[in-house]
Structure 1
């Protein structure tokens, strides 16, 4: 039996300021699992948090001297973020029409469009209430923000995915999740510290948030968390590996791959193995081996050998697990320049296409 090939895609950020050029590269190199590009070089509103806030449903935002905040009406930069999102969506649909090959398209229902958003906990830790405190400090505001994000992100992602004949895969980027769990989220005043949120409560909330996204149109929901965190905020892997009773787990986890290939974090290896063992998707950011992405089949085979060795280390059967692996690049690899981004995405695709043959 031949293993199913892993998918190849990108993390989200792309270089430059031209949405059409980025969309053309994405559709050319990641046609089976394209992603909605982010172009942070365009400035405020085009960054990841601006993109996420543009997806909120009926919850206006503006900027403060320190960053984004909830507001009574959308500010200029909020409107700019929405305009960027509209342009990027139109460019992606246009690029898909130009790149489409009916004979080469994946089977109906298998194609996904990946949209990365800041997850509900990191978003609540990263934007402010009108008074200046993080939204995380107010349970009611935090709940409203999560509901708005679930409704808006899933509806917009599903709408765009339908335009290119795909299902929506939403990646919840939670860079501050471990700080939320440790109670080390920054507060403007040392007299108003923000309490830690227990891991079991985080796990329940993320499962239910994933349910809300799927009910509103998302096909799959993954979570992206740091493998190595800051001192004082150790990873709480139970949040993503232990599904609370009567809850539906998220569909997978996205991890920076370098610490896994080098076995730098045994806890992360255990978490990755648990996700695969439970039937989830393992999205790996970064390829093993040389500093540059593979350019030839021989180089791709060497990289695929390292990927299969990682699966063996995770006690994950190659034949049943390889099809649930996603190979991606790190954001740094796709934002270093247009030529470098194209080569990196092409390298990930080449490894994904080569891995099944090496696994046999």
Structure 2
């Protein structure tokens, strides 16, 4: 066992899967990511199955609907919100049946507050991110919704030892840099102060769970994520720059887990498992950490979600990550 909630040489997925068969996707996850399975998301099912709609369905007392411009807050719940909630309930029902008797850690994914605020519009059309009071309301509502979601999952899967909550924040670098476009698209919203970003992100990271923040964009703000209380950071290894390595080293030294994306999220020819594991092995060597900690502190994943892949490739990508994770333990590159 390791100091983390998972065993050594663990792999998992980011979240999204191709197709519309949620039962089959759950079976694939349980089969190919057995050490850290997760609840897959299938955005191809349409409205409410996408990342934004799925998480918006968790919000408490903040109903949403779909407009031509995307998701928007509204006065009362309607069919779009009902559809999103129905997707999630069906997924949880299927998971409960397929994972009977499962014991161990389990991962769920939610969209983070800053990415959500940059995507959902207020009733009068501006993005939520444009109104700090509205963002605060969203943060409070999301925190309450995530807590309820966690309680429901634990009730359905009583053998789960710990829940890993992956908070997806691909939009956070843009929020911090002030590059998020206004609703009209003609301007940019002001940058959010890093301290505020960390504080409000931290407010939705649930107590009693293992919080991981996923950011598949360049310029992962490691300092903000650590201040927020993230115990793990999930990122695309191919986007790492040497200038990021000091921040990564500080995070690892502080005990932060790395969920390292090492295979593409779309169909391609997958290389040998040793090649797949190489970015993790070489990063660890450059940072100067002992090889004995590599297989426990690094979890291998696809670079991002698998929604754009074929079903066959999605299965193969998860299997490749699972096999490559063993290399971290068996052949750490010494």
Normalising by the residue count of structure 1, what TM-score does the alignment of the two structures yield? 0.82
Describe the SS at the equivalent of 2:99.
helix
In the TM superposition, what is the alpha-carbon distance from 1:189 to its structure 2 partner? 4.8
Q: How many residues align?
A: 326
Contact 2:295 2:325 in 1 (8 A): no
Q: Distance in 1 between matches of 2:118 and 2:53?
A: 14
Residue of structure 2 in register with 1:159 after alignment: 152
In the TM superposition, what is the alpha-carbon distance from 1:305 to its structure 2 partner? 4.6
Q: Give CA deviations for 1:280-307 in whole Å, capped at 9, x if unaligned.
A: 110112249x95335xxxx334533543
Q: Which 4+ runs in 1 deviate beyond 4 A?
A: 1-4, 189-193
In the TM superposition, what is the alpha-carbon distance from 1:200 to its structure 2 partner? 2.4
Q: Distance in 1 between matches of 2:163 and 2:105?
A: 6
Q: Distance in 1 between matches of 2:230 and 2:142?
A: 16
Task: Find 2:127's aligned residue among 128, 131, 134.
Answer: 134
Contact 1:255 1:283 in 2 (8 A): yes
Q: Distance in 1 between matches of 2:305 and 2:168?
A: 16
Describe the SS at the equivalent of 2:203.
helix
In the TM superposition, what is the alpha-carbon distance from 1:193 to its structure 2 partner? 5.5
Structure 1 unaligned blocks of 5 or more: 106-110, 230-234
Tell me, yes or no, if structure 1 residue 168 matches structure 2 residue 163. Answer: yes
Alignment of 1:272-287 (within 5 A): 272-287=248-263
| Superposition RMSD in Å | 2.7
CA gap 1:95/1:193 in 2 versus in 1, 3 angstroms:
same
Describe the SS at the equivalent of 1:82.
helix
Q: Give CA deviations for 1:198-239 in whole Å, capped at 9, x if unaligned.
A: 1122123223332xx21xxx511111224426xxxxx54432
Alignment of 1:226-305 (within 5 A): 226-228=216-218, 236-241=221-226, 243=227, 249-260=229-240, 265-287=241-263, 291-293=268-270, 299-305=272-278
Residue of structure 2 in register with 1:326 after alignment: 299
Contact 1:55 1:156 in 2 (8 A): yes
Describe the SS at the equivalent of 1:129.
coil
Normalising by the residue count of structure 2, what TM-score does the alignment of the two structures yield? 0.88
Q: Distance in 2 between matches of 1:58 and 1:2?
A: 40
Residue of structure 1 in register with 2:44 after alignment: 41
